Each structure stands twice: as C-alpha cells, then as structure tokens.
Structure 1
Amino acid sequence: MSSSPLRNGKVLFGVVVLAFFVLLAALGPWLLSLLGLDARANDVTAISAPPSAAHPLGTTQFGQDVLAQVIEGARGSMFVGFLGAAIGTAISILVGVPAGYFGGAVGNLLNFLTNLFLVMPVLPLIFVVAGYLQGTGLVMIAFIIGLFGWAGGARTLRAQAMSVRSRDFVQAMRMLGEPHRRLIFVEVLPHLYGWIASMFLGGLVGAVMAEAGLAFLGVSDSSAVSWGTMIQAAQQQSAVLRGLWWWFVPPGLCIALVGTAAALINFGVDELANPKLRAASRPVAKRVAARRAAVAAVPEGA
C-alpha cells in the first residue's frame, strides 16, 4: 500500500469536501454576485417557499434565499472554525511542547496551567463568556473557542515531546551543545507534525460546532450569517413543526459534511504518521485471500 494518504478513497473524499467548503467560503461573495443573490434580501413574493427554479433551496419565513444564506454562512462558520482551531493549536504547541521538552520547574508550571484548563467546565465557560461579550463579532467568538479548547492538545503534545526528548539523537545533540531553540524546532517539533495536524482538524470541527451551538442558544453574533445562525433562526420560527425542512437541513448537512471530511482526513494523517496503522488499514479480504493462497500452496501431507 502506498504511504500517501491521498491514495485512500475515503481520505481523498474528505480532502475534496473540505476543499469545497474552503473555496465556498473564500469565493462566497463573488459567487453570490455572479448568481445575483443576497443572503439578507427579502422576497415578499416567496415566503417560506419550497425549493424551486427561482430559489433552488427554498426561502425562509422572511423570504430570504436559503442557498444564499448557506453560501454566506460558509464564510462565517469556516472562518470561526479555522481561526478557532489555529488559536487553540498554537496555544497547545506553545504550552505542551516546552512542558514536555524542558521538564523541571518550567514543565511543572506549564503542566499545572494545562491541568487547570482541563478541569474547567469548558463548554459552560464558553457560553458564559460569549454571552457576556455578545455582539462582539465572529473574531471574538473564534478567540473564545480557541482560548478554552487547547488544554487536551497540550497534554498530548507534552507526552509526545517527552518521548522524543529522551531519544538518543536528541540527547546526543544536547551533549554537543546545540541550543534548545534549535532542538525544539528542528529535532523535536517535526516529529509532532502528525499530532498537530490531527489536533487542528479536530479543533476545526469543534469550533464549527461550538459556533453553531452558541448561535443556537442565541449568544453568538446575531448580525452575522453562519450555519449556526440559520439553524437558530429556523428553530425560533418553528421550522421543524411547520415542515420547512429546506430551512434547517442544508446548514445542518454542511456542518455534518465538514465534520465527516475532517474525520476522514484525520484517519489519513494518523495512517501516514503511524506505520502500524498503515499495515492494519489493508482490506481484510486481501489478507484472507493471501492466507488462503499460502495454505493452498502447501503440499498435502507436508
């Protein structure tokens, strides 16, 4: 089996889906202009209209085009997802890697900070802080999510950094007088890239879902359009009870697809970083066929 995870159909599907939503978020304004759509425009002639040629994904109770809101919402949700994941991953690296590499008083202090955030009720804290800072925009929402979501990743990186620090080549470089800065960035950190990529993808999904949860509870930025605010508006207007499925299904499906895509890519990253997983990922049928062929090749009575 090839060592490239893109050879795996599931991973390739995840990459394609995630790339699609990234492009949708980046090119959203241009696409809306090209299609002549406006996420905030009200069409009084089409109130709660089902999907049609004029409105491919239907309209909301306020006459707003659902397709336009999905495109506009991709920009808000993916922005929060990537920024929140980037902030959380950066803090995890800054705290976890030095804690594992240095040990001693520095490691104990950073480990205490990590444990402090680990025992905090993160989700309620996010809701409380986001509610207190309500209306501050998606940047602040992403910052809050990243600020409270780094501790688990830091704990993992600390353990991995401690393992790499004890290896012979790192010890030899330290005995030769190599500076700590070079050892961390050149010798230790490259061995953690797989873990960091996995953490970032997990943080991306977590941030998108956290933003949707905040919006659903009404503590997100009400002026911004995201998949979460779409679901929240649909819930407020009883779209489920009224059968307006085209209002809440598209944003929910987009969130589910982003989560699925990130999970599939994560499997590929794990497979690439861990040779044991690469060996274990071969189809069972191939292994069974190989064993049967080996048994058949043994002469009778041997």
Structure 2
Amino acid sequence: MSTAFLTSWKVRIGLGILAFFCLLALFGPWAVHTLLGLDPRANDISAIAQPPSGEHLVGTNQFGQDILAQIVEGARGSMYVGLLGAVVGTAMAILVGVPAGYYGGRVDAALNFLTNLFLVMPVLPLILIVAGYLEGTGLTTIALIIGFFGWSGGARTLRAQALSIANRDFVRAMRMLGERGRRLVFAEILPHLTGLIASMFLHAMIGAVMAEAGLAFLGISDSSAISWGTMIQSAQQQSAVLRGLWWWFVPPGLCIALIGTAAALVNFGVDELANPKLRAARPASARRARRLARAGSGA
C-alpha cells in the first residue's frame, strides 16, 4: 500500500514540499544564524526597508530586520502551530468519532451530542474570544485552542465510516469469537481509516497554519513570537502594501500558499489510494493513453 501511495507524482511533490518546510523549521534557524550570521530580531538602522540585495537576500523590513532570517524563524513557529494543532484536532476526532460509530447506543448518543454541540458552535468567534482572553500566551496555547475547536467535522466523518465498518462481516465474526471492543476499535477498524485520517491530518495542519496567520493578522497572538502570520501582521501595521515593500509580505504569504498546495497534493494521492474507483481509474487511464499512443504511431 505504501509503495502504491508513493508512486503518485502528486504525493511525491507534496511530501517533498512538506519535508522541506519541516527541515527548514528544524535546522533553518541554526543554519541562518551560524552560516549567515543573521538574527531575525536584530535591528540594522543602516538598512531600513531595503529591497533584496547581496547583503540581505530577501531585503529588510521597516525595523531593519532581515526578512530571510524571519522567514526561516517563522517556519518553525508556523509549522509548530500547524503540527500541534493537527495532532490535537485529529486525536480528538479519533477518540470521539470512532468509538461512537462502533459502540452505538448510549455511547453513540453521548459522543454524537458532543460532536453536534461543537459543530453548531461559531468556531471562529469562539477562537477569537478565547485567544483574545489569553492574549500574550505562546504559540503552544494558540495551537491547542485551534486543535480543540477544530475536531468536530472530522469526528462526524469518522463516526460514519466506523459505523459502516462495524457492520461488516469480519467485525461481526470477531465479535462472535469474543474479541474485546477496544481491540476491535484500535486494531481492526482504525487501520481501515488510515487514509481518511491522513487526509484529515493534512487538512487540519494547513487549517491550523492559516488560522494562526489569521489570528496574528487580527493582532491576537504572541507579539514576541515570530511566525509567518506575525510577519504579515507587522507588514500590515506598517502599511507595507501602500509603500510597495512587497518583499516583506509576499514571501511569508507564499510559504503559507506552498504549504496548502503540498497538503492538497498529498490529499489527492490519499484519495486515489483510499477510493477503489480512483484506483481502478488510474490503470484504465494509463492503458487508454498507451492505446492512443500506439494508434498515433501506427497512423
């Protein structure tokens, strides 16, 4: 299954982009500081709002801070929020949605009530209120808030899929053999949902990155932390668009767009792996293309 998954060019490109940003978040700040001698928080009064040049490859902002160093440092902040928010949201969706679909009855009624409660809640205003109330906290709190309020849609989807799998013959047979419900949930049903869970995780990750950028743009974030969102918010406050300082806000926005593109590409590959119709369509399309090529060469 993993070999077929990696044969898709969409998956390879998407995973390559995500791996690049993960490596950039892990080792980029050290490399920029050690090899280039750049500090994202250092102010150079002799180079204020300078365009890209040999000394500052991506230019500087209004405070004389190097944009390249801030982009690399911001990758760590944004990827941290994205990954932590996705882990929290996906874990809560699994813990609520899968048992609800398998056990049914009162368990399903209670967990489904909790899911519906979060579904009808105005998530964005709640995030704004909670994050605003906790203003000044770090990126960890922002990620936890995003993950806590972003799991209900995934739980509803997992519940429906778990309910379908729980009624299949092999699960009923294992129930008759006396298998425990916990083992059936985590060892039999959950593996059948890996494709869907992977897709949910990627969707939650880009959602968390964009949510953090939105919160930072509205000024509800840790002002001392550096992320792509805080860079865009700082550029907006200093009227970088009106002043033509494109190198200040375009690079972080482009990074966010690339993360979204990578997640979408991997998601397409997951769909092709998990959907039998798409798996059958890929070889058929390849055979049709070969027949057309042979017909064209024969003509």
TM norm. shorter chain > 0.5: yes
- What do residues 137-183 of structure 1 show as CA deviations (whole Å, max 9, x unaligned)? 10000000000000000000000000110000000000111111111
Q: Distance in 1 between matches of 2:94 and 2:88?
A: 10
Alignment of 1:1-302 (within 5 A): 4-34=4-34, 35-281=36-282, 287=288, 290=291
Deviation of 1:11 (Å): 1.8
CA RMSD of aligned residues (A): 1.9
Deviation of 1:3 (Å): 6.0
| Contact preservation (8 Å) 1:3, 1:272 | no
Q: Distance in 2 between matches of 1:140 and 1:292?
A: 56
SS in 1 for 2:147: helix
Q: Which has the larger displacement, 267-276 or 86-95? A: 267-276
Q: Distance in 2 between matches of 1:33 and 1:291?
A: 55
- What do residues 160-209 of structure 1 show as CA deviations (whole Å, max 9, x unaligned)? 00011000000000011111111111111100111111100000000000
TM-score, length-scaled by structure 1:
0.93
- Listed as ranges, the gaps of 5+ residues in structure 1 are 298-302
Q: Report the identity percentage.
A: 72
Deviation of 1:293 (Å): 6.8
Deviation of 1:285 (Å): 7.7
Q: Distance in 2 between matches of 1:160 and 1:168?
A: 15
Runs of 4+ in 1 over 6 A off after TM superposition: 291-294
Q: Distance in 2 between matches of 1:218 and 1:256?
A: 21
Pick closer, same or farther for the CA change 1:283–1:187 going to 2, 3 Å. closer
Report the number of matched residues.
295
Pick closer, same or farther for the CA change 1:171–1:76 going to 2, 3 Å. same
Q: Distance in 1 between matches of 2:33 and 2:134?
A: 32
Deviation of 1:124 (Å): 1.2
- What do residues 36-89 of structure 1 show as CA deviations (whole Å, max 9, x unaligned)? 110000111100000001000000000000000000000000000000000000
| Contact preservation (8 Å) 2:29, 2:69 | no
Q: Distance in 1 between matches of 2:174 and 2:286?
A: 46
- Give the residue type in structure 1 aligned to 2:15: V
Q: Distance in 2 between matches of 1:101 and 1:291?
A: 47
- Listed as ranges, the gaps of 5+ residues in structure 2 are none
